[in-house]
Copies of this chain bind each other. A is one copy, B any other.
Amino acid sequence: MTEQHPVKPRSGHHNLDPHLDRYAARTAGMTASEIRALFAVASRPEVVSLAGGMPNLAALPLDTLSAQVGQTIAEDGLVALQYGSAHGVPALREQICEVMALEGISAHPDDVVVTVGSQMGLDMVTRLFCDPGDVVIAEGPSYVGALGSFAAYQAQVVHVAMDDEGLQPAALKEALVRLEKDGRRVKFLYTIPNFHNPGGVTLAVRRRAEILEICRTHGVLVIEDNPYGLLGFDGQIYPALRSTDPDNVVYLGSFSKTFASGLRVGWVLAPHAVREKLVLAAESATLCPPTLNQLIVSRYLATHDWKGQIKKFQENYRERRDAMLSALEQYLPAGCEWTRPDGGFYVWVTVPEGVDTKAMLPRAVTARVAYASGTGFYADGFGSRQMRLSYCYPTPERITEGVRRLAAVLESEMDLLRTFGTVTRAVSGPQSPQSPSPDTA
């Protein structure tokens, strides 16, 4: 039993809801994620939050944007404020193809569907493919928002292990063979190949063809989620899975991390037949994505040095990553391990045996530091020895201070553990060799 899939409502709560008997079966699985509860706590100014995934927008040129957005309304207002198609604004879809070309993708704008953030793309793809009980393969750990969408469609998530080179092909093959033997219907592999959330690792280039080949052989579609792909700290851009397998990969992209998350502009690039159905699904979900937001992104891409802006973001995040890795090295007690991302927002930390990151969290918040405990990133109760630390938002100084505070909390947990043999009641599921956290380098 996990946070995502409680078998029954919390006792004492269900009598308060007179609509309880009316909900769909899927609704029973909807409970607040740990991450969500954390956002509220972490917003208190005295707490250093290493929990959230909010991009740092300080580098955006607000004056320029203000003028551009004003112009969009003044010049194109009757279009910007009007309904558009569920498919998305054609000019933007062409520009999106230019963005994806950086990752080696050759695509036709017709096969791009603009969505309300890539979260909506993920939700729509799951809507198209997953019947209740179908299996989705995902890395362990995986993106918490993806687990939410899969749960909403009652798909069952099977995690496959990563190491510091990302998803392990042998473990993927083994899982597929086992699931086939069990007669399970696997619909797709959901993967974040670059600068993984929350793992902080990147799928090695030499593994990519192998992963694609395994999925093809087993008749499994690949959903490639790539919000961080252009945020490599050395300017490196990895070739998208989609670039070599256009017929069996659905690609999810987003401007949330390379421009502005509050606009909610993402996209799906899909094989042609799937794209037609995606547009229909999107139409029933929101009619169309906001036209104004699409025109803002389109004008920004057309008139602004958006690649230069991404470079600024990269530098910004690299500086923060460096601060975090230095602080982890300096402060964290022996026995802790962590990943060393070369892009993106996150470090994945494994703490010594016996420490439970979920149980420890209230004590960390009391010590004025927040993180995301690992269990939220698994659909099956694992992750209690892990935590995700985000370096994207706070200043380097705050990051250092946050890690220092976290280290003190960890030390005190480990002291108690050495003295009494335990510090916490067991509140999370069992560990299993099938779903380890990424190895730490």
Residue ranges of A at the interface with B (Cβ–Cβ < 8 Å): 16-20, 22-27, 30-33, 36, 39, 54-55, 57-58, 60, 62-63, 65-67, 69-71, 73-74, 77-85, 116-117, 119-120, 123, 127-131, 134, 145, 148-149, 151-153, 187, 219, 221, 247, 256, 260-264, 271, 273-274, 277, 280-281, 283-293, 296
Q: Determine if B284 and A83 form an interchain contact, defined as CB atoms under 8 angstroms apart.
A: no
A294 CB to closest chain B CB, in angstroms? Answer: 9
Complex alpha-carbon distance, A54 and B83, angstroms: 7
Copies of this chain, whole number = 2
Residue from the list B81, B219, B285, B286 in contact with A262, Cβ < 8 A = B81
Complex alpha-carbon distance, A65 and B73, angstroms: 7
Complex alpha-carbon distance, A128 and B24, angstroms: 6
With a cutoff of 8 Å between Cβ atoms, the chain B residues found around residue A123 in the complex are 284-286
24 residue pairs A–B, Cβ–Cβ below 8 Å: A17-B274, A24-B127, A24-B129, A24-B130, A24-B131, A24-B134, A26-B131, A36-B283, A54-B82, A60-B81, A66-B70, A66-B71, A66-B73, A69-B73, A70-B70, A79-B262, A82-B261, A116-B286, A116-B290, A119-B286, A148-B284, A149-B284, A262-B290, A264-B290
With a cutoff of 8 Å between Cβ atoms, the chain B residues found around residue A22 in the complex are 129, 187, 219, 221
A215 CB to closest chain B CB, in angstroms? Answer: 12
Q: Determine if B152 and A81 form an interchain contact, defined as CB atoms under 8 angstroms apart.
A: no
Q: Determine if A62 and B74 form an interchain contact, defined as CB atoms under 8 angstroms apart.
A: yes
Q: Determine if B283 and A148 form an interchain contact, defined as CB atoms under 8 angstroms apart.
A: yes
Q: Determine if B128 and A27 form an interchain contact, defined as CB atoms under 8 angstroms apart.
A: yes
Residue among A31, A71, A151, A290 having the largest count of chain B Cβ atoms under 10 Å:
A290
- Cβ-closest 4 pairs across A and B: A70-B70, A17-B273, A262-B291, A81-B260
Interface of A is mostly: helix
With a cutoff of 8 Å between Cβ atoms, the chain B residues found around residue A18 in the complex are 247, 271, 273
Residue from the list B65, B129, B153, B256 in contact with A23, Cβ < 8 A = B129
Complex alpha-carbon distance, A71 and B62, angstroms: 10
Complex alpha-carbon distance, A70 and B264, angstroms: 18
Q: Determine if B284 and A145 form an interchain contact, defined as CB atoms under 8 angstroms apart.
A: yes
Of all chain B residues, the one with the shortest Cβ separation from A151 is B284
Q: Determine if B264 and A128 form an interchain contact, defined as CB atoms under 8 angstroms apart.
A: no
Complex alpha-carbon distance, A27 and B270, angstroms: 16
